[in-house]
Chain A
Amino acid sequence: MASPQIRNGAAPQTPPQKPQGFVYLPLIAGWLVPGAGHFLLRKWGRGALLSLSIMAMFILGISMQGKLYANAHDILDLLGLIGDLGNGLLYIVSRALGLGADQVQVTTADYGTRFIVVAGLLNVISAVDAHNLRTGRKP
Chain B
Amino acid sequence: MFRPSHYVAVLLFALFASIVFGITQRDTPPRMVRYGLYCFVLFTASAIVLSWVMFLIAR
Measured CB to CB, the residues of A under 8 A from B are 46, 49-50, 53-54, 56-57, 60, 63-65, 106-108, 111, 114-115, 118-119, 122, 125-126, 128-129, 138-139
Contact = CB atoms under 8 A, between A and B. Distances in A.
Contacts of A125: 20-21, 24
B12 A60 contact: yes
Contacts of B9: 108, 111, 115
Interface in B31-47: none
Interface residues of B, number: 17
Interface of B: 1-4, 6, 9, 12-13, 15-17, 19-21, 23-24, 27
7 contacts: A50-B23, A56-B16, A64-B1, A111-B9, A118-B17, A119-B16, A125-B21
B13 A118 contact: yes
Given A118-B13, A122-B17, A63 B23 contact: no
A139 B27 contact: yes
A119 to B, nearest CB: 8
Nearest to B29: A45
B2 A138 contact: no
A139 B31 CA distance: 13
Given A50-B23, A53-B16, 7 more contacts: A53-B15, A60-B12, A64-B1, A107-B6, A125-B24, A126-B23, A138-B27
Contacts of B2: 60, 63-64, 108
Contacts of A53: 15-17, 19-20
Given A63-B2, A64-B4, A129 B24 contact: yes
